[in-house]
Amino acid sequence: MKSTLVANWKMNPATFREAKLLFETTKKAADKAKNVQVIVAAPAIFLRQLAVGYRGRIAFALQNGFPEARGAHTGEISFAQGADSRASYAIIGHAERRAMGESNEQTKAKVAGALKQELTPILCVGEEKRDGSGQHFPFIREQLRAGLADVPASSIKKVLIAYEPVWVIGATKPMSPRDMHEMSIFIRKTIVEFYGEGGMESKILYGGSVDEISAPEMLRDGDVRGLLVGRASAETHHITKLLAAIESA
């Protein structure tokens, strides 16, 4: 089965010239990794120019979006505008957005807003820390419940869930594939509880400190369909190795 790589460039690189170089490198690596579905979440301001004339397999994503199509919302970018710039996916509720105050209520409106523009939402969930009490499970359940609250049963298959524990984002290594496997089962069980058996097909991604060394093991043993990668996807010397590693996993 095809694995997915969401390359979350975050607020990188600093110039369009560098972004073009990074995209060129990503394209070459993606051409060799035929079994990987590559989704580039570049800064929105670069999307249209990267996509101009491009006819390859790479898809584009917004890193965030505003649910209304237009209006008096200074500084925001709507999903409609993203779709018009050739994005077909949208990351929603990334931990770095939530840290700036984005609420579960807002992720709900954004997931519904993205679907309305026929973008595939990538709903990010993840607890800030873990102790031995197991409290992260109800926390994730609530993020899922709220984020999916306006998704009708007919659309649930279109939503990707990215589990990104905040304590491993930007860290030195990912969580263990075994713990991810446990979390994947929990997420699927939760979505089945909300939507019935159709929820079993939910696509779950893992994110947090993945690189070319850790990617294969996570794909093999983590019970995930793909990876959401920050740093290792936004550096030219990593992305080629990362895609090769995912391809051969």
208 binds ligand PGA (CB under 6 A): yes
- Closer to ligand PGA at the Cβ: 30 or 228? 228
HSE toward the beta carbon, residue 190, CA cutoff 13 A: 22
Cα radius of gyration rounded to whole Å, the chain: 17
- Closer to ligand PGA at the Cβ: 146 or 215? 215
164 is catalytic: yes
First CA to last CA across the chain, in angstroms? 11
127 binds ligand PGA (CB under 6 A): no
128 is catalytic: no
229 binds ligand PGA (CB under 6 A): yes
Residues 122-147 as b/e (b if ≥16 CB within 10 A, e otherwise) read bbbbbbeeeeeeeebbeebbebbbbb
Q: What is the DSSP letter of 230?
A: S
226 binds ligand PGA (CB under 6 A): no
Q: How far is the CB of 23 from ligand PGA (least distance, A)?
A: 18
Annotated catalytic residue within 94, 96, 127, 136: 94
Whole-number Å distance between alpha carbons of 229 and 227: 6
Quick one: which of 170, 179, 200, 213 contacts ligand PGA (CB under 6 A)?
A: 170
Any idea which residues carry the catalytic annotation? Answer: 94, 164
Q: Could you list the residues that contact ligand PGA (CB under 6 A)?
A: 8, 164, 169-170, 207-210, 228-231
